[in-house]
Structure 1
Amino acid sequence: MDQPPNGPQGPDGQTTPTSPSLPGCYRHPDRETGIRCTRCERPICPECMVNASVGFHCPDCARGTGGTGPGPAAVRPRTLAGGSIAADPRLVTKLLIGVNLALFLVQLSVGDRFTNQFQMLGRAYVSFPGPVEGVAEGQWYRLLTAMFLHGSYMHILFNMLSLWWLGGPLEGALGRARYLALYFCSGLAGSALSYLIAEPNQPSLGASGAIFGLFGATAALVRRLNADMRPVVALLVINLVFTFTWPDIAWQAHIGGLVAGAAIGYAMLHAPRERRTLVQYGTCALVLVVVVGLTLLRTAQLT
């Protein structure tokens, strides 16, 4: 039976007006709500909300049966950004930490010969036992490999703790593929800005560029959930203070990763559903185009 045009009827037969600005709960249409299920995006009232690792789920998605409302996201449970739900929402984060730790052990075992070959370096310099070439000489792989090397125990400890704290919630909200795209694009953007601005013979290394990208995306996630931004802003400010006051920190990589991560995170979490994949991966592609452009520009300056 169709509802009257002015809203659903109450028990006494009178019409209950509804606000045009807020939808009704999908199970209780007479209850207005501003909360939506983070999987299927259907409106849910406080009685129907089920706490989840990110936001709230409707009862159907919480049971794993999925929604039945309109749109593809209602057919199959998805992450907040439209990715696939994984049994272990931190698997990629664990693998990234494992790769970083494994390569740090290789650094300790092999020594500077290994680190000099893969850390971020703009232009060749002379080092024992011979000259070491950089990105300007065609070793573009350094933009990527530098993201997985570290200079000390404290360096890798702080970076891996940050990766664990920030990466887990983001992986759960974005899904594995989108999370990996965010991580690598942010890290490459940090390496590219470091290559562009830093002294060409100044080596740098670390996952900090990618991790600052996770900071930027975390801010976008908190904004998307309408949560309190103050803890994220305070933590980011503290890290930026360390970035610009602590010696021997490649601030260029931090800023490059932060800007790229914020842009990608916003696109991932705020893209319209009908064009979500195009906007999300299109933003990642745009960041990579900027990375290539900055690298070509700096190489032309140095050669």
Structure 2
Amino acid sequence: MQHPCIYKGNNQRKSIHDVKISGDLGNKPIAGEVVAKSGLRTYKTKKREKKFFFYLGVADDTGSIKVMVYGRERYQDIQEKSCYLFREVIMDKNVMKVTKLSKVSKTPPIDVPENLEMEAQMLVYSQTPVCSIGQAIGSEEKTSVSVEGKVREIGSVETIKLKNRQGKKDKQDFKLEDDTSSIRITLWGEHIKHLRGVSSGDVARVTNVKTNHFQGSVSLNSTDSTKILKVQSAAVQSVTIEIIGIIRASETQTELEAELSHDNEVQQFEVASSLLAGALGVSLRGSFEDRLLGKMPFSADVEIKGNQIIKIKSVKEK
């Protein structure tokens, strides 16, 4: 259900779908969520003056549109994942242009479908053509590719000492699989942030990564242009598990191993430590990990989304 915007009623504003068909806003405003924002870019006027601009990928519940914002004054104010009302803009084909005379104000949230979020992201982020994972594996060393598939086996962040150079760098690996094969993808440094909000079981598009050949195997490394776009969220499942091992535990988050009752497969899961402590009836203070180990094995009914346990209840409590 879409949340109301400042202008109540669809007749008071124009949807993105209608704007793209008519090519004109008339005197009506347009509202949407900023799904993606580019970096500041420059262009030169006819008088050879350097000016600034940036792009937005904006979407509502009907469509997505590319927005070009002139100047640098609004760059810090307009934020991704926030919703805005745009007035007195210029339509140039399918691009909406925001000038100094345009008015931009915040609105309450708008419910944007996932497919339109992805469309809006693609309007801002350039990418190499998507190929199958099998094709990526068959590509030459350092080939730039984009791939799409189901996310599996998200690893922890590790700090790696750089060879032949001073300093260290964080890295995080995960596996992506499609109908043709699976491949390990390594994110380096600041690129790790692109994996935030992505869970095991989600379908994601990973753009602008480069092939890496090492000892007969092929993996993919992130680049400065890499983006991870979630195409489809993992479904929430209700299952019974038996917790058989603890990988690591802190007062905030616990990683564990559990066996699924319906197929006896052992998988790794993450759960908020407060949820787990409540289900086990133990305190978070002191040696929480030792208390967990003292309760193993432990059966529970859980709701899982990818590799995240979002609800947990002891089977013994029934």
Query: What TM-score results when the alignment is normalised by the length of structure 2?
Result: 0.24
Q: Which of structures 1 and 2 has the larger relative contact order (alpha carbons within 8 angstroms, sep 6+)?
A: 1
- Write 1 or 2 for the structure with the bigger share of helix: 1
Query: What TM-score results when the alignment is normalised by the length of structure 1?
Result: 0.25
